[in-house]
């Protein structure tokens, strides 16, 4: 494991809690070894050299403790936006686990995005956090088919393992659900796939599913994605280039139809699927963050 320097790790969100009502972000690792063909974090704008090599931030736990100690406003800390906090190295390093313990010690909530069943290891800490602050777990699942998930997310646990992790989290009382994103045009944007994910999420105790019916592409990421399309899905590279050109937002041609069918199924299953209602739900019962005066 290589280490990189950092001055701060827990930082205030730029858009006033627009994303699931979070107040702070926390990225302990840099880079990712999941190998997902569509990953936005591979984009050049993030300036992550050799993206597929995971590096940890030096003295991360000391920095996180100092960051939390300086915050005068409690809130929800999000992790997993740029690099999965449960990459394979976390199994032995325990940096994410100890960071969550610090969130509990300083009375902060947590919102975790991951593709790894390893998160179930830390259910005890998540339950501790839940006693005093909001907790939200977001498991990314893009396809209900294990073979396809290994094709587009080659180094990640198959979707069936993620559904099992969801079931374990839900049974432990942790507010959990599915990030259904991206939905890749002409690969995963079928009604069969979308409805299968919704039904499996429900069967495994999910409280919600939040979707994005398309994929984002920009410099660096686009070139990598197109190469993978050329290698694995003959003809799709040209189809993407013709349809989307250099666009950042590449919505599925069937996005409207899929969303309507998806929303209908979620209502039928009792799953939340809009961000305001998900945010309200997982924060229910907790008082708004209060200023700490010294």
Q: How confident is the model at residue 293 (pLDDT cuts 50, 70, 90)?
A: very low
Mean of per-residue pLDDT scores for the chain: 95
Q: How confident is the model at residue 97 (pLDDT cuts 50, 70, 90)?
A: very high
pLDDT, average across residues 61-86 = 96
pLDDT of residue 17: 62
- Give burial (CB, 10 Å; 0-12/13-18/19+) of 129: buried
pLDDT of residue 60: 98
How many angstroms separate the most distant Cα atoms in the chain? 63
> What whole-number distance in Å separates Cα of residue 107 and Cα of residue 130?
10
253-284 pLDDT per residue, tens: 999 999 999 999 999 999 999 999 999 999 99
| Low-confidence winner among 40-54, 156-170, 221-235, 261-275 (lowest mean pLDDT) | 40-54
Sign of the torsion angle spanned by Cα atoms 84, 112, 209, 215: negative
> What whole-number distance in Å separates Cα of residue 193 and Cα of residue 190?
5
CB distance 38 to 91 below 8 Å: no
pLDDT, average across residues 34-52 = 92
pLDDT of residue 4: 95
| Low-confidence winner among 2-16, 54-68, 96-110, 191-205 (lowest mean pLDDT) | 2-16
Question: Shortest CA distance to 287 belongs to which of 21, 75, 136?
Answer: 75
pLDDT of residue 14: 80
124-173 pLDDT per residue, tens: 999 999 999 999 999 999 999 999 999 999 999 999 999 999 999 999 99
Domains in the chain (CATH in brackets) are 2-283 (3.20.20.70)
> What whole-number distance in Å separates Cα of residue 43 and Cα of residue 100?
28
């Amino acid at each position: 494991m290589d280490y990189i320097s950092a001055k701060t790790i827990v930082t205030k969100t730029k858009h006033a809690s627009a994303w699931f009502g979070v107040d702070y972000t926390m990225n302990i690792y840099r880079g990712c070894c999941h190998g997902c063909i569509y990953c936005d974090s591979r984009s050049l704008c993030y300036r992550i050299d050799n993206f597929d090599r995971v590096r940890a931030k030096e003295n991360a736990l000391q920095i996180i403790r100092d960051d939390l100690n300086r915050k005068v406003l409690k809130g929800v800390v999000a992790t997993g936006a740029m690099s999965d906090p449960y990459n394979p190295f976390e199994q032995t390093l325990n940096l994410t686990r100890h960071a969550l313990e610090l969130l509990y010690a300083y009375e902060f909530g947590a919102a975790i995005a991951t593709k790894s069943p390893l998160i179930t290891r830390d259910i005890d800490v998540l339950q501790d956090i839940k006693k005093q602050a909001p907790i939200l777990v977001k498991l990314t699942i893009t396809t209900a088919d294990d073979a396809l998930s290994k094709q587009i997310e080659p180094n990640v646990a198959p979707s069936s393992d993620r559904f099992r992790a969801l079931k374990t989290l839900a049974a432990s009382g942790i507010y959990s659900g599915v990030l259904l994103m991206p939905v890749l045009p002409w690969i995963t944007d079928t009604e069969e796939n979308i409805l299968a994910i919704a039904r499996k999420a429900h069967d495994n105790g999910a409280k919600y599913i939040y979707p994005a019916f398309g994929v984002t592409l920009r410099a660096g990421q686009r070139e990598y994605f197109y190469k993978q399309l050329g290698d694995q899905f003959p003809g799709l590279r040209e189809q993407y280039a013709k349809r989307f050109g250099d666009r950042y937002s590449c919505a599925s041609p069937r996005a409207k139809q899929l969303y309507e069918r998806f929303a209908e199924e979620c209502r039928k299953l009792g799953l939340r699927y809009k961000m305001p209602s998900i945010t309200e739900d997982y924060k229910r019962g907790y008082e708004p963050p209060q200023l700490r005066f010294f």
